[in-house]
Amino acid sequence: MHSIRKHIGCVIGAMALAASAASAMAEGVYPNRPIRMIVPWPAGGSVDIATRIVTERLSIDLGQPVIVENKPGAAGNIGALAAAKSAPDGYTLLVATTPMIINRSLDDKLPYDLSRDFRPVGELVTLNYVLVANPSVASSVQELVHKAKLQPGQITYASSGPGTQLHLIGEAFRKQAGVDIVHVPYKGAPPALADMIGGHISMMFPGYPVVEPLVKSGQLKALAVVGKHRLAGLPNVPTLAEAGVPGIESVEWYGVVTPIGTPDAIVARLGNEITKAVRSPEVQQRLASRGFDPVSSTPQEFADLIQAEQKKWPVLVKQAGLHRE
């Protein structure tokens, strides 16, 4: 009996020691090696730009490099699945974006689910979209619509993949403007924009941050803002509603999540550090200068946003006439 009690005591002691060690790792030692931040979109796109601005500061505050790893393709699904399969130890993070909610609305057989397979850490930014075109195509929304009606099926619009917000906005524009335009999907905004500059694509609805330098240089023409208000960086560019195509408004968000099972202490630490990084004056200025609206939230606030989006997007997908797979 004494030996049994001694054995039980040893087991309990070992468990307590392990728990204590895990707690110490989460609260004190973590992180003790580089952290991987998966961006499921190409380098140079809006998600990549915002993430790198924040991770530069986050690396300093955490005392370990936060390395951005781009894994584009399948409207964000390739990178998301890679993150979902990673160890829940706080050393692999994912930048979640609105299209991941839309993907689930289009295909409920996806091998991952944002709510089921990840823990929200914190929101980073929101941003607006703009309708841009090759300058040779049109100089206004009215001219674009007129040309599209005269040449049905000849005007093309790019997106960063089927089921992304850029695709949904394009479909909404097609219906609201009553034009026959053709969807051309890409793996991300940068290659699509390159083709538009080259004259291979007519128009697109990218996030303003990624297209800002191209608009300022005159390589592309900003025709309208996809939102309720004009942008400070484009004061003379009307909203779609002002340009005669009402009923289309969309804002995208980016935020950090970590695989389900990540310890509470690590999620709390990451959440606090990301909030601190986003709120730093230098990061706020850099994000705002690129057209982003910095946002800092708690893990619970970000979780609430994701839940609200999961209720909203299936309705919008149905309204856009897109079919579930």
pLDDT in tens, 71-89: 998 878 899 999 999 999 9
CATH number of 128-226: 3.40.190.10
CA dihedral 103, 105, 107, 108 (to 10 degrees): 120
pLDDT band at 55 (very low <50, low <70, confident <90, very high): very high
The token duo for 251 is 């804002």
Range(s) of the chain covered by CATH 3.40.190.150: 9-127+254-319
Note the pLDDT of residue 16.
41
Q: Is the confidence at residue 18, as pLDDT, over 90?
A: no
Range(s) of the chain covered by CATH 3.40.190.10: 128-226
pTM strictly above 0.85: no
Note the pLDDT of residue 22.
47
Note the pLDDT of residue 121.
97
Residue with tokens 């490099």: 65
Note the pLDDT of residue 65.
98
Using a 10 angstrom Cβ sphere, with 0-12 exposed, 13-18 middle and 19 or more buried, the burial of residue 321 is exposed
Task: Please write the tens of the pLDDT for every residue from 253-311.
Answer: 999 999 999 999 999 999 999 999 999 999 999 998 888 989 989 999 999 999 988 88
The token duo for 286 is 């850099």
Measured at the CA of 269, the angle between CA 267 and CA 275, to 5 degrees, comes to 100
The mean pLDDT of 104-109, rounded to a whole number, is: 78
Q: Is the confidence at residue 3, as pLDDT, over 90?
A: no
Q: Which of 57, 74, 75 is nearest to 66 (CA)?
A: 57
SS3 64: coil
Residue with tokens 């990084």: 277
Q: Is the confidence at residue 20, as pLDDT, over 80?
A: no
Q: Which of 219, 211, 212, 93 is nearest to 160 (CA)?
A: 211
Using a 10 angstrom Cβ sphere, with 0-12 exposed, 13-18 middle and 19 or more buried, the burial of residue 235 is exposed
Between 19 and 279, where is the model more confident? Answer: 279
Note the pLDDT of residue 179.
97
Q: For the domain made up of 9-127+254-319, give the CATH fold.
A: D-Maltodextrin-Binding Protein; domain 2 (3.40.190)
Note the pLDDT of residue 320.
66
- Count other Cβ atoms within 10 Å, centred on residue 136: 9
